[in-house]
Structure 1
Amino acid sequence: MTSRLLRSPLALAVFAASTLSHADEVALTPVTVEADFRQTDVQQIPEAVTVVGSDDISARSAEHLEQVLSFAPNVNYSSGASRGRFYQIRGIGERSQFIDPVNPSVGLVIDGIDMTGLGGAATLFDIKQVEVLRGPQGTRFGANALAGMINIRSNNPTKETEGYLSARAGNYDSYGLGGAVSGSLSDTAQGRIAVHGYQSDGYIDNTFLDRDDTNNIDEIVARGKLAFQVSDDTDIGLTYLYADIDNGYDAFSLDNTRETLSDDPGTDAQETHALALSLDTQLNSAAVLQSEITSSRSDIEYSYDEDWSYVGIAPGWEYSVFDQYLREYERNTADIRLLSGTDGRLFGNSTDWVVGLYAMQRSEDLTRNKTGKAQYQSELDAASFAAYGELSLNLGEMLRFIAGTRVENWTNEFSDSNGLDDKTDETLVAAKLTAEALITYDHLAYLSLARGYKAGGVNSEPALDSALRTFDAEINHSIEVGLKSSMLENSLKTRIAAFYIDRKDQQIKNSFTYMEDGAPQFKDYIGNTKNGKNYGFELESDWDITERLNWALSYGYLITEIGEYTYESEYYGVFVQDGRQQAHAPQYSAATALTYGLTDALSVRLETEAKDEYYFSDSHDLKSEAYVLWHARVAYAQPAYEVALYGRNLTDRDYEVRGFGFGNDPRDGYSSYGHYQYGEPLTYGVEGKFYF
């Protein structure tokens, strides 16, 4: 372990920083966490939060959420699609979805709209910031935030007329074009429109079809926002989001290369229409009313060539199967809350309060078409109703206690074409107690105890015993201690957190795996283990070393253990995984960046990110390899325009983002073990913005 740490970005960055001069007097701009009830500065909120601002998004030349997640320590993602769709925070989170519905552990919210499990829409054009809240967020966000929440906020309408055009071109025939315009529609109304398209041939060559675009990217996202000042005390906001994702999916190679042999490549497509309506009104000096109503509909196609090959590759051994999942999602939410105003504080004006009600309706209809099988259909109707509240007690200027709770009733009704008709009905409770203390005006320490939950559900596999038909809710209890500091006359800001999570009835994905007609078959279901454990620490810092030189760093260290768990398969035999590291939970993760302004207009940025090896699944022992990636960007900026050259993964390192622990190559009788999907290779290009 020591040698790996010495090769990590932490050691490299510390070495670099040790050669630099003392800090000049600089002031850093406060960064606000909008997912907090009262939109608090990231340095003042008593929990582990990473905010990736628009400057960081531009500096990474990022198109999608997965390309900036390394800024947040102990955060990972799972691909198994054209983009990262599922996320893990502190080792907790789902990795895939096939037949069964998924109750996610990590929520994804875009402009107030719940897009959990629909990560294809998490593009980053005209985005103000990405917030990653780590640890149970049940008191604020409920069952979708057992491990944490990712909150994406786009730029708001402005009163002054402004806008820009953006374009880029790069290798793999990649290019993007977009624009945004914002301004006043009247004295009391503003609007903003942003539209962006991005296309790429992708990073796969299909040698059988002689094509280089079977894993292509083709994405269009449009967003419209309106802001109304109805009166001096009342604001209304309206957001419309449209996403048209029409990507290919042909990522797995029999030879574990970027050359595939599929004769029927798949699709990873998503079309989303979504609306959000918000109201913020000062009722009087004692109370503020906030409400948000959202509605979204998404049509999804996820399909793939299951055999990853072609007819005739190995006569007598081969099979040919195409698998297609067509899903229709509908989600409607309403969140209404009251917050204390200046004259509404309790207990001698010492205690702020929040009370709220939340309702959610979600439907998910699946049609599965698989070669040689009867069409399968299922319907899920989920509903949630919650009441929540929070008290914040100030004991003088230096000490504060925060107590929050949420009570949520969650129901699942599931039916399918195999005749299954079942439901679950649970009442779940989340709570959080936090003590924070200003050690000095530059150092904030906090200690929090939290209880989070994720709802149970219904397994669809007809061969399961009745005892496994449903699975229980997972309950997590966590403790977190942290220190947030501003030093060197505000030029250096640091955030340190240590945590321990006890996972009761940990939900874990199991599989029946067996051979049928010469091919491996998989029957998935979700079960519960006894207590799992996740613990570690995190470090983040942002240092303006001089007026021209900035050093940013994040580092996470994570230990995880599965509870008592035995996995049995006709194909694999019996695995006893008790105490093993959990899947998609690397022991260390790190990222660091040095940005230097050569002149007022010309800047250079060098970044590196690293991740330890990790298991791909809890039901087999296939692992990724540890890796280090390097990125760079040179930018020239003027008030009217900006141009930049960028490169990501400069050493063209192959690294795995998904893996399956089975044999799928008929040429060797399916005896080889382990197949991988690789992340982004060396990419480079030029990009520019013109402002008006």
Structure 2
Amino acid sequence: MLLTPFARVIPLPETIMRCRYSVVAACLIASFAATAEQESIERLEVQGDFRRLSVQTIAGSIAVVSEQDMQRSSAQHLDDVLSQLANINFAAGASRGRFVQVRGIGERSEFIDVINPSVGVLIDGIDYSGLGISSIAHAEQLEVFRGPEATRFGTNAMAGMLNLSSKQPDFRRDGAFSATVANYNSWQLSGMLSDAISDQVAFSLTADKQVSDGFIENTYLHRKDTNDIDELTIRGRLLYRHSDQLQWQLIAHAIEQNNGYDAFSLDRNRTTLSDEPGKDKLSSQALALRSDYHGIVGADLMWQLSWLSADSDYRFDEDWAFVGIRPGWEYSAFDRYQRSREQWTLDYRLVSDDQGRIADNTDWVLGFYVSGRELDLQRTRRSGTRLRAFDNNLQRDNAAVYGETSTALSEQTTLVIGGRLERYKDDYRDNGNLTIQQRHSMWGGKLSLNFQASEQAMIYTLLSRGYKVGGVNGEALSRAGDDGLEALLQQATFEPETLVNAEFGVKGAAIDGSLVTRVAVFHMWRDDMQVKGWLNPELGPEFAGFIDNAGRGRNYGIEMENRLVLHPSFTLHVSAGLLKSKLGPYVTQAGLDMTGRDQAHAPRFTYQLAGDWFLSEQLTLQASVQGKSGFYYSDGHNARSASSELVNLRLNYQLEQWQFAFWSRNALNQDRGVRGFYFGNDPRDEYAPHTYEQWGEPRRFGVTASYQF
């Protein structure tokens, strides 16, 4: 009965209707949980929203991953964390997975064309979208927003947003240090320290160094480190409490990444034959100044000014082989992309307090946002003895105004209305004397009705709209003169995309913390859907990519997260997602009709089953199984991944301030694809097309020693 009024307004597909009993059950569980005996309860606050509120009281599907959750799977990088979450996937195509898909929507690579991400990344409020998250060591928490969040984040959050917060400064000394050694010649050193400098000034500093040979053996070069990891990440915060009304915070980041890239094998395994292994390098620095002022009558003033500079060098052996592998058939090519990025952002907003409410029942937020970004690319491609260079520059400026109101209609019912109007302009030029200017105004927003059934149970309905900007197909323009690629002249630009999301959710928790549950049913409509297309006339080694608009698309399903304390010594964590996605009318340049097919990197089923077993005061066993069904690698071909089930184990021994952990990730050593292509690249079989996959990490095992003070 809870779904009936909602279903009359927006007809739900059969897949979701089959899930209605799960939602009704969640409502009943939430109501029952509210009657439990009152004790303490875990409260996870969302830091990325306008106000710091409990995740249980915000409309929308938000996953909050604490440092303890990351430890459960011995996570060392974002890849390891995302596998825990329902309806979340990622793509590699580089040394790390930095392209994220939420509910089947998100990019999978970036070569020449500048792509505005469907799923953005913020670290301490600084925009790292397109660069990814380099380290999660000693993070305070990671928040994953599912669904459009245009009101809060704008064009970078059409499908969702990842928000990582490093440790906040503390006026009491808090510190931790950990050292890890693992197979594949891997080691990690990380540390965190927070302390007071004076009565008004405190700081926090986090540093992380990771090194590994990687999981590839190059038999031609007789090396096992051509796909290695070598990363250093430093993040710091300096807090100055000027008074009870005013505080300032200075944030500084530095990243040095010097990773190898030699991931694709002609033999379609973990053995490569490249004679020129690639690199995936990144050097970035970022600064932010934040102010929180509570001295205005009726509102709090918050603003953050940030700056980021990043240089990347991404290069790879395009033929994946060596000269002489098959004379007469072989080709030799090497591709290199050198990027520089300079950006600044200013986010300025007023948030009402108790004295600033409208009509005593309406809280409000009003803000504006401006940003500027300059991106330079130098691409150098060598094919045989022929050397081709392509340079381009994109200057992108954004300006937006946004607002939100929250009106208490009754003691239990709240209406939230939010909106954002954004204007962007792009100025593009390249070394082919091509200049393109694009100007667009876009809007997004949300409307939610929240019903607080009890202090511990909330039911909400949500309608939200997101958007992302269009762009220029630089690769298509640069290669339109090649034989067989003339059709690329028709793909000079691509249009903005919009998304509308309808969602119904239930959140509940027992007062004593023995049960926490969150369930969301959603249906999303995509318009002018941006898809990655490939023109590969003869399915051979020469191909070109571009971004196309595929008309419409649909994504709908259900996701749930539960934590259940079955016994004082055992806690069970269950998350699961069911997703159905469809491409709208879309025929590729190669003539493949993809209409109605599942979208790329959109597995129909994802889940995690995890448990924490406290064997004694000193000994804890943690185990998890993370699974996902197979999915298509691209919207331009029909190559698919296999399904996967990853088993993770961790045994912790606590000795006063020391902890020793023996752990294994992917303990059953299952191969899983994290990026895939379909074409011919092997001269030994005369370039017959195959599905080539980049594999995720194999079985990992190691030991970690941690000291907390």
Give the structure-2-normalised TM-score: 0.92
The answer to whether the 8 A contact 2:41-2:511 is kept is no
Counterpart of 2:392 in structure 1: which amino acid? S
1:171-219 CA distance string (max 9 Å, x none): 0000011222210011000012221111000000000000000000000
Structure 1's 213 and 291: CA in aligned 2 closer, same or farther, altered over 3 A? same
In the alignment, structure 1 residue 288 sits paired with structure 2 residue 311: no
Hey, what's the Cα distance between the residues in 2 that align with 1:56 and 1:455? 34
Hey, what's the Cα distance between the residues in 1 that align with 2:144 and 2:296? 33
In the alignment, structure 1 residue 366 sits paired with structure 2 residue 372: no
Query: 1:303 corresponds to which residue?
Result: 315
Query: 1:82 corresponds to which residue?
Result: 95
Query: 1:173 corresponds to which residue?
Result: 185
Hey, what's the Cα distance between the residues in 1 that align with 2:667 and 2:409? 52
Q: Secondary structure at the match of 1:163?
A: strand
Q: Secondary structure at the match of 1:437?
A: strand
Q: Secondary structure at the match of 1:374?
A: strand
The answer to whether the 8 A contact 1:333-1:361 is kept is yes
Query: 2:499 corresponds to which residue?
Result: 476
Query: 2:236 corresponds to which residue?
Result: 224
Hey, what's the Cα distance between the residues in 2 that align with 1:642 and 1:330? 41
Q: Secondary structure at the match of 2:596?
A: coil
Moved over 4 A (4+): 23-26, 464-467
Of residues 569, 574, 584 in structure 2, which corresponds to 1:563?
A: 584
Counterpart of 1:459 in structure 2: which amino acid? N
Structure 1's 219 and 567: CA in aligned 2 closer, same or farther, altered over 3 A? same
The answer to whether the 8 A contact 2:41-2:512 is kept is no
In the alignment, structure 1 residue 112 sits paired with structure 2 residue 133: no
In the alignment, structure 1 residue 43 sits paired with structure 2 residue 64: no
Of residues 124, 128, 131 in structure 1, which corresponds to 2:140?
A: 128
Query: 2:416 corresponds to which residue?
Result: 402
Hey, what's the Cα distance between the residues in 2 that align with 1:488 and 1:114? 37
Of residues 348, 357, 362 in structure 2, which corresponds to 1:351?
A: 362
Counterpart of 1:552 in structure 2: which amino acid? H
Hey, what's the Cα distance between the residues in 2 that align with 1:196 and 1:465? 44
Query: 1:643 corresponds to which residue?
Result: 660
The answer to whether the 8 A contact 1:322-1:370 is kept is yes
The answer to whether the 8 A contact 1:24-1:547 is kept is no
What is the aligned-residue identity percentage?
Answer: 39
Query: 1:3 corresponds to which residue?
Result: none
Query: 1:605 corresponds to which residue?
Result: 622
Query: 1:411 corresponds to which residue?
Result: 425
The answer to whether the 8 A contact 2:678-2:689 is kept is no
The answer to whether the 8 A contact 2:497-2:530 is kept is yes
Query: 1:341 corresponds to which residue?
Result: 353
Using the TM superposition, name which of 482-491 and 267-276 deviates more.
482-491
Q: How does 1:72-471 map to 2 (within 5 A)?
A: 72-119=85-132, 121-347=133-359, 349-371=360-382, 372-460=386-474, 461-462=476-477, 463=480, 468-471=491-494
Shift of 1:38: 0.5
Hey, what's the Cα distance between the residues in 1 that align with 2:296 and 2:379? 54
Hey, what's the Cα distance between the residues in 1 that align with 2:537 and 2:40? 62
Shift of 1:671: 0.9
Q: Secondary structure at the match of 2:69?
A: helix
Query: 1:18 corresponds to which residue?
Result: none
Q: How does 1:498-513 map to 2 (within 5 A)?
A: 498-513=521-536
Q: Secondary structure at the match of 2:83?
A: helix
Query: 1:655 corresponds to which residue?
Result: 672
Q: Secondary structure at the match of 2:70?
A: helix
Hey, what's the Cα distance between the residues in 1 that align with 2:160 and 2:174? 35
Hey, what's the Cα distance between the residues in 2 that align with 1:104 and 1:132? 15
The answer to whether the 8 A contact 2:134-2:255 is kept is no
Shift of 1:467: 5.3
Counterpart of 1:70 in structure 2: which amino acid? S
Using the TM superposition, name which of 54-63 and 622-631 deviates more.
54-63
Q: Secondary structure at the match of 2:354?
A: coil
1:629-664 CA distance string (max 9 Å, x none): 100000012441111001000110011111111111
In the alignment, structure 1 residue 493 sits paired with structure 2 residue 516: yes
Shift of 1:465: 6.3
The answer to whether the 8 A contact 1:129-1:153 is kept is yes
Hey, what's the Cα distance between the residues in 2 that align with 1:162 and 1:622? 49
The answer to whether the 8 A contact 1:350-1:393 is kept is yes
Query: 1:17 corresponds to which residue?
Result: none
Q: Secondary structure at the match of 1:127?
A: coil
Shift of 1:373: 3.0
Question: Which ranges in structure 1 are unaligned for 5 or more consecutive residues?
Answer: 1-9, 11-22
Hey, what's the Cα distance between the residues in 1 that align with 2:173 and 2:356? 38
Structure 1's 345 and 25: CA in aligned 2 closer, same or farther, altered over 3 A? closer
Shift of 1:568: 2.1
Hey, what's the Cα distance between the residues in 2 that align with 1:114 and 1:158? 24
Shift of 1:691: 2.2
Hey, what's the Cα distance between the residues in 2 that align with 1:420 and 1:141? 32
The answer to whether the 8 A contact 1:423-1:458 is kept is no
Question: Which ranges in structure 2 are unaligned for 5 or more consecutive residues?
Answer: 1-21, 23-35, 481-486
Counterpart of 2:611 in structure 1: which amino acid? L
Query: 2:5 corresponds to which residue?
Result: none
The answer to whether the 8 A contact 1:107-1:144 is kept is yes
Shift of 1:442: 2.6
Structure 1's 250 and 24: CA in aligned 2 closer, same or farther, altered over 3 A? farther
1:227-279 CA distance string (max 9 Å, x none): 11011111111110001011000000111111100000000111110011111
Structure 1's 346 and 26: CA in aligned 2 closer, same or farther, altered over 3 A? closer
Shift of 1:26: 6.2
Query: 1:673 corresponds to which residue?
Result: 690
Hey, what's the Cα distance between the residues in 2 that align with 1:490 and 1:216? 43
Hey, what's the Cα distance between the residues in 1 that align with 2:558 and 2:511? 24
Hey, what's the Cα distance between the residues in 2 that align with 1:545 and 1:210? 52
Counterpart of 1:310 in structure 2: which amino acid? F
Of residues 528, 550, 554 in structure 2, which corresponds to 1:529?
A: 550
In the alignment, structure 1 residue 691 sits paired with structure 2 residue 708: yes
Counterpart of 2:668 in structure 1: which amino acid? T
Using the TM superposition, name which of 540-549 and 447-456 deviates more.
540-549
The answer to whether the 8 A contact 2:456-2:511 is kept is no
Shift of 1:522: 1.9
Using the TM superposition, name which of 487-496 and 86-95 deviates more.
487-496
1:286-326 CA distance string (max 9 Å, x none): 11000011100111111110000000001111011110000
Give the structure-1-normalised TM-score: 0.94
Q: Secondary structure at the match of 2:155?
A: helix
Hey, what's the Cα distance between the residues in 2 that align with 1:688 and 1:479? 46
Query: 1:5 corresponds to which residue?
Result: none
Shift of 1:165: 1.8
Shift of 1:514: 3.0
Of residues 33, 36, 42 in structure 2, which corresponds to 1:29?
A: 42
Counterpart of 2:626 in structure 1: which amino acid? E
Of residues 65, 72, 79 in structure 1, which corresponds to 2:78?
A: 65
1:438-472 CA distance string (max 9 Å, x none): 12333200001111111111122222566532221
Hey, what's the Cα distance between the residues in 2 that align with 1:89 and 1:367? 31
